[in-house]
A and B are shown apart, each in its own frame.
Chain A
């Protein structure tokens, strides 16, 4: 099993540019999560999908952030326009949502630096 795949692993961009982060969940999983991690704010849930449908996007910081999941094997998180305060590590995680507990499998993360 390849695990959760994220790309790119590192991204350096300039303020105002569009950034697109990509995620391929583990095959067979039905839930997908996007997190952001910074030293100041810790680990924050941005949005999660169940069966490709967004369930809770209350963690999305503002309208500059958007996420899509067009099919069960692919999701994107887009920031447009990017700002220096968006610099963070962005993690994607997937799980098979079951009744008695949910084990999430995390990708290696995308380290984003906005100059």
Chain B
């Protein structure tokens, strides 16, 4: 069945450091891919998405490129801020199913 695997956390960085959170998926066909973010005490919210191979989703300085050849959708940001501290979830969608979430990666950024 379909699945999403993301890197174990927590990830601890200093402000202005480069961020990468790895995400790989298993699916038949051509799923849509998402990154959601959960700030402390809140629900998840969509950060970015890509619906076909080679698409790049971007938002708030975060980027992720849909790589079908490596079945990956890694999240990157060039310079993180303390306010980016949150839990990040990679997710996959195919028609006829519900969203499949990864286990989440906790990011902690210190000043």
Complex CA gap A45/B103 in Å reads: 12
Query: Is B45 located at the chain interface by the 8 A CB criterion?
Result: yes
Query: Is B27 located at the chain interface by the 8 A CB criterion?
Result: no
Interface size grouping (class) on chain B: 10 to 19
8 Å CB interface, A43-84 against B: 43, 45, 48, 55-56
- Give how many A-B residue pairs fall within 8 Å (CB-CB): 47
Residue of B with least CB distance to A43? B101
Given contacts A91-B43, A106-B45, contact A101 B93 (CB under 8 A): yes
Given contacts A43-B104, A101-B93, contact A106 B49 (CB under 8 A): no
Q: Which of B32, B43, B104 contacts A109 (CB 8 A)?
A: B43
Of the candidates B44, B101, B104, the one having the most CB atoms from chain A within 10 angstroms of its own CB is: B44
Given contacts A42-B104, A91-B44, contact A100 B32 (CB under 8 A): yes
